[in-house]
A = this chain, B = another copy of it.
């Protein structure tokens, strides 16, 4: 005997509904799942009874039988929730939406330090049908790990690994390239770049984009003008202050995030500089809620891309893959930014 308290109490099972109607479990199951072999009349009768009796399918048993849980997992470092200024919750929000629409559940797995083991456990225990991982490094070991387990997964961002995998990414190279070119077009040459840490693939790509733009105009890259920093307002203030106190300060600053830009605006105000005239600022805008480049004073020129939409696509691709709606080949989507010109840039 496995269980001393079988399906009783609150548990209305398929069996109970079947008995009530004088049908077999199979028929009830099929009727509820709209199997074509069940005539509409029966299907209706069953639906009624199920509803009346308060039948709810047991997700555990169903999961075992169909070999799926109808849940996907999201693994991320605990700090990403703790950070006040982050695009993480916007991604999460996009994912949640789709998960809800498709009738899936979302298993959140924050980890403190040992991500690999969390990932492996989740993947091999078949607790979820698929996984999403975020912020890949330039060479990210998680991709191999997941590929080895055979679980469907999709990466928010790309990584330079030699195995195929699915991803949703933005063209980070292009983002910084266009931002830099815009400033070059306006006659700036001392252009600073506030970028994230280059161990992350997206930051590395942005650095390359910046360099490409400078190279194409035969402008030297001054290492003092390229800073690696976290993407918060405070860091924006600090970086801007540092840049502005340089013997030969930049005339324009590219910000990797809108939070950073906000900080730069603050620092400029404190230094008595007017944005758009004394200092040009451009940024990449993830279109997070609660903060908009258009509301900056002066309005901030920025490349723009919805990170919530990225979250949606991540979930959609993953679920399609799980349900076999995609072929066997991984799919990758990279969206290119729109550049919205506003008032934060002036001629040098």
Contacts and interface: CB of A to CB of B under 8 A. Distances in A.
A106 B82 CA distance: 17
Interface in A31-56: 54, 56
B100 A111 contact: yes
B108 A106 contact: yes
Contacts of A9: 150
B78 A82 contact: no
A54 to B, nearest CB: 8
Nearest to A2: B65
A93 interface: yes
Interface in A108-151: 108-112, 120-121, 124-127, 149-150
Contacts of A127: 59-60, 71, 105
Contacts of A96: 78, 81, 108, 110
Contact of A108 (B57, B64, B108): B108
A289 interface: yes
Given A78-B96, A96-B78, A107-B106, A59 B126 contact: yes
Interface of A: 2-3, 5, 9-11, 54, 56-61, 63-67, 69, 71, 78, 81-85, 89-90, 92-93, 96-97, 100, 105-112, 120-121, 124-127, 149-150, 289-290
Given A71-B127, A78-B97, A82-B93, 19 more contacts: A5-B67, A10-B150, A54-B124, A56-B120, A56-B124, A59-B126, A59-B127, A60-B63, A64-B64, A78-B96, A81-B92, A81-B96, A82-B89, A82-B90, A89-B89, A100-B111, A105-B109, A106-B107, A106-B109
15 contacts: A3-B65, A10-B149, A57-B125, A60-B60, A60-B64, A60-B126, A81-B96, A82-B90, A82-B93, A84-B84, A100-B111, A105-B127, A106-B107, A106-B110, A107-B108
